[in-house]
Amino acid sequence: MTTKSTPLLLHVPGLQPGLAPEGLPGGTLFVSPGLPATDSEAFWRSPELPFSAAEARGCQNEMIALGEQFRNTRDLVTLALQPEAASGRRDADFRHEMAALDRFAESGVVEQGSGVSGAAADGPRESAMAAQKALILAWNLEARVHELHALQSSFSEVAGSFRNVLGVDEEDLEELPGMRNVVAELPEGPDGIARLAWRTVLDAVLRFAPADAVLVTADAGLIGALAEHAEVVPVDADCQPAAEGVRGMCRIAAWTLLGHSRPPVQRPWLDRELRILLADAPQD
């Protein structure tokens, strides 16, 4: 809960508390993509989200259904590269839109003919719809990472017990009849999942975040970009209540951090200065 003297603290780029590193500043909230699962005190939900919880869930289901067509868990990030022959017009449009979302914040170029181009150029509701879809996509990919972490942990425990019973090491276990096939059928590990680029997630977060919100991060990629463009300075007085576990703060224009040479006219939410707290928490 924030007070008059304590700004809203939002974690970026991760959206799922279960995947966040330990040791984040007290009071840090996670940005809700508007899904029913995020209706708790751990999340901040923007009143500007265009989709209701039911509509967001429907969008999520559509993304999951398309992603399940492919064994490769990089699913929606690379859907546009997959064959579209039997997909139908609606699926084809959705593929292109999802691919454009992942390029949206990377290039700074508004693509003509995509859902994202309309989002940036046609008006506030369209840009909000594109941003919320990006957050839902990011949530889905993070959820897949969480599931695979749990699956890997469970398999490791079972395999460890099996090795102890048989008195064999890990290499010998895989050579047992049938075990090679079992291992081959396991989904790829969490490290093989293509999460949405942090710039794409940050762009979507900033579409909704209040101007006075303070961001919190322990993400190596984001911190690396900050190191190239900004200095670490002492934490501002209004953030001191959250300073424990923080090694400093950076101030930077949002459009600079996202790689633009000037504020993009079609994305006015990037024409702002960001305050970003650098958490000491280790990031996997």
Stretch 118-136: mean pLDDT:
78
pLDDT tier at 97 (50, 70, 90 boundaries)? low
Q: pLDDT for 207-241, tens place per residue?
A: 999 999 999 999 999 999 999 999 999 999 999 98
Question: In the structure encoding, which two tokens stand for residue 78, read together?
Answer: 């690379």
Q: pLDDT for 273-284, tens place per residue?
A: 999 999 986 555
Q: Output 195 or 23, whichever has higher pLDDT.
A: 23
Stretch 179-205: mean pLDDT:
66
Query: Which pLDDT score, from 0 to 100, does residue 141 have?
Result: 87
Query: Which pLDDT score, from 0 to 100, does residue 87 have?
Result: 44
Distance separating alpha carbons of residues 211 and 203, to the nearest angstrom: 13
Residue 84 scores a pLDDT above 50: no
Give me the residue spans of the domains in the chain.
9-133+195-279
Stretch 246-260: mean pLDDT:
96
Query: Which pLDDT score, from 0 to 100, does residue 18 have?
Result: 87
Query: Which pLDDT score, from 0 to 100, does residue 152 have?
Result: 59
Q: Output 118 or 248, whichever has higher pLDDT.
A: 248
Stretch 250-263: mean pLDDT:
95
Distance separating alpha carbons of residues 119 and 100, to the nearest angstrom: 11
Three-state secondary structure readout of the chain: CCCCCCCCEEECCCCCHHHCCCCCCCCCEEECCCCHHHCCCCEECCCCCCCCHHHHHHHHHHHHHHHCCCCCCCHHHHHHHCCCCCCHHHHHHHHHHHHHHHHHHHHCCCCCCCHHHHHHHCCHHHHHHHHHHHHHHHHHHHHHHHHHHHHHHHHHHHHHHHHHHHCCCHHHHHHCCCHHHHHHHCCCCHHHCCCCCHHHHHHHHHHHCCCCCEEEECCHHHHHHHHHHCCEECCCHHHHHHCCCEEEEEEEEHHHHCCCCCCCCCCHHHCCEEEEEEECCCCC
pTM score, two decimals? 0.74
Distance separating alpha carbons of residues 13 and 222, to the nearest angstrom: 8
The percentage of the chain sitting over the pLDDT mark of 90, rounded to a whole number, equals 47
CA 51, 55, 60, 62 torsion: positive or negative?
negative
Query: Which pLDDT score, from 0 to 100, does residue 121 have?
Result: 44
Query: Which pLDDT score, from 0 to 100, does residue 273 have?
Result: 98
Q: pLDDT for 138-190, tens place per residue?
A: 999 888 876 765 555 555 555 555 455 555 555 555 555 544 454 444 445 44
Cβ–Cβ < 8 Å for 123, 48: no
Cβ–Cβ < 8 Å for 175, 237: no
Cβ–Cβ < 8 Å for 61, 140: no
Average pLDDT score over the chain = 77
Q: pLDDT for 5-16, tens place per residue?
A: 789 999 999 999
Stretch 86-95: mean pLDDT:
51
Query: Which pLDDT score, from 0 to 100, does residue 184 have?
Result: 43
Lowest mean pLDDT among 28-42, 78-92, 132-146: 78-92
